[in-house]
Amino acid sequence: MSTLHLSHVLHAHLIQYILLLLVYNLTFHPLAKYPGPILWRCTRLKYLISGWKGYLHTDVMAMHKRYGSVVRIAPNELSFCDPAAWEDIYSNRGGALAFPKSRVIFSSLPGRADSIVTTIDDKLHARMKKKMDMGFTDSAVARQEDLVQKHVSKLVSKLRDKVQYSLDGEAIVNVVKWMVFVTLDIVTDLSFGESFHSLDNADVGEWGGVVFNSIRAQWCVALLRHYTWITWALNRLIPRSAKEKAEWIWSVVEEKVDRRLARMTDRPDFLDLWQRQGKGKEGLGDGQIYSNAVVMVVAGTETSSAILTGALCHLVNSPETLNMLTRELRTQFAQEDQMTFAAVKRLPYLNAVVKEVFRMCNPNPFGLPRITPPQGGTVCGNVLPGNVFVSIHAQALSMDDTRFHKATAFYPERWLPEVVADPSSPFRSDDRSSVQVFSIGPRSCIGQRLAMAEVTLTLAKLVWNFDFCRANTEAGELVWEEQRAFPVIEKKPFEVKISLKKS
Ligand code: HEM
């Protein structure tokens, strides 16, 4: 047989194989009965393209609107838009364990220790989380308050300078940048014992920039891992400069962590609390400390800064709500230093605003992917075979107008205790359990107490100190829901006009 002939035969077999696979995916596959667009059900290509472009969350949300609460978004993947799925997928309940994570999505850098996020084995994860939890308890967060207050006060003073140096007592500020600066300084101070001084320099610095860009890169690589052969080829194609950059990040982390550990202090930072448990069996190994320190910086900055930006975005577009919040804060506190973690936690309207922002501006807008165990599992009454990817589409769920009155509008009132109890309120039957911005179960957010305290305090201090309104600039027109996600929301520039408070 000539080489040409052999090549034709191989091509013909390949085409036959692909056609058979497409037909199988649409007809005999165990998930064939679930609805979804045909091109998404027969190959994973559409999913990959959508995820690569950053529109997976909006595409899947549109599918839920069209096809209902269970949608097949790839041959072996289902998305759920049903609060009952929180328990079924993410929580240990009634003897059934939470569904595991998959190596396809979560992987550490070659040669580096797994962090809490990339540890797949549930027992190892539970052990690691128990050791790390010390840094996130109520009492740990209370001890971290001075450190958080210091950075939030610096944010206020930097913004005040901007207003005071302006000609007309008003400044246009890109909120996204400032929210990243303050959250990055807080979390690096807690992770490395020294902040990145982003507020001082009005810049995240080279290291910060590289780390944030790497989230998107890791997401794209995770998408491609669905096709093993592409990953194999990619690993060979990654330019040496990119590999050197990754090594550089790691060496900076090692240096910062080692420097902090060498300084014996009793600062209430994460490293102090992790170090107290010793090493090895009792505590975290060196490699785990380094990889978790990076996770803290990324997980603690990307999310909290998105929530704060989303809050200001909705508030300047809802002047009535902003007035109510301003009034609550300024009548409750005569002086700025009265605003403590405990004091702001007690304000009903402020807390309702934060919860409504959680509902509308989830930094992780689509599914937190899990895989059914080899023996299979049940989600919302659907008995599924093993190794099926499943997730809840958080944004579709919290914007579902069958679960929330005026679901796409910003109404903090829906969270007020008196509204929840009022039988005549249109918000009474809102399905509040649908919103789980920190997820639930053994893999839920370890930093949620810190995040709640940090976000609530920062928002309170900003609104207490400044009058905010819309900026008539292109970046002042941002529509939060139209942003892309990789998989964390991308946070486009968003400008607001600020002036010192008048009343
Ligand atoms: C408003 C802010 C925040 C939101 C909305 C948020 C949300 C989440 C969510 C949904 C998860 C689960 C991810 C998954 O299952 O794949 C998670 C996990 C995690 N978060 Fe947060 N987070 C926030 C702030 C923080 C902060 C401030 C820190 C630390 C300083 C942090 C550290 C972590 C870590 C380490 C995990 C992994 C936990 C585990 O695997 O057991 N987060 N977060």
Q: Which domains does the chain have, with CATH numbers?
A: 76-500 (1.10.630.10)
Cis peptide preceding 373, ω within 30 of 0: no
Residue 380 · residue 88 · CB < 8 Å: yes
Closest ligand 1 atom to residue 117 Cα is 40
pLDDT band per the 50, 70, 90 thresholds, residue 257: confident
Residue with tokens 């922002």: 357
* Vertex 312 angle, CA 403 and 163, to 5°: 170
Query: Measured in whole angstroms, how far is the alpha carbon of residue 407 from the centre of its chain?
Result: 21
Annotated binding site: 445
Residue from 57, 294, 303, 437 whose mutation best tests the ligand 1 pocket (most atoms within 8 A of CB): 303
For 248, the token pair is 């550089």
Residue 77 belongs to what H/E stretch? strand 77-80
**Is 367 close to ligand 1, i.e. is its CB under 6 Å away?**
no
Total number of residues shown for the chain: 503
- pLDDT value at residue 476: 96
Whether 30 has a pLDDT exceeding 90, the answer reads yes
In whole angstroms, how far apart are CA 157 and each of 152, 444, 496? 9, 34, 17
**Is 437 close to ligand 1, i.e. is its CB under 6 Å away?**
yes
Mean pLDDT of 303-317: 97
Annotated binding site for heme: 445
Closest ligand 1 atom to residue 363 Cα is 5
Contacts of 107 (CB under 8 A, 6+ apart): 118, 222, 225
- pLDDT value at residue 427: 96
pLDDT band per the 50, 70, 90 thresholds, residue 277: low
**Is 89 close to ligand 1, i.e. is its CB under 6 Å away?**
no
**Is 458 close to ligand 1, i.e. is its CB under 6 Å away?**
no
Mean pLDDT of 118-139: 92
Whether 286 has a pLDDT exceeding 80, the answer reads no
- Phi, psi at 494, each rounded to 5°: -140, 115
Closest ligand 1 atom to residue 190 Cα is 30
pLDDT band per the 50, 70, 90 thresholds, residue 110: confident
- pLDDT value at residue 220: 81
- pLDDT value at residue 278: 62
**Is 129 close to ligand 1, i.e. is its CB under 6 Å away?**
yes
- The listed range with the strongest mean pLDDT (120-134, 200-214, 246-260) is 120-134
Question: Mean pLDDT score of the chain, rounded to an integer?
Answer: 91
Residue 390 · residue 78 · CB < 8 Å: yes
pLDDT in tens, 315-365: 999 999 999 999 999 999 999 999 999 999 999 999 999 999 999 999 999
- pLDDT value at residue 453: 98
Of 14-18, 154-158, 307-311, minimum mean pLDDT range: 14-18
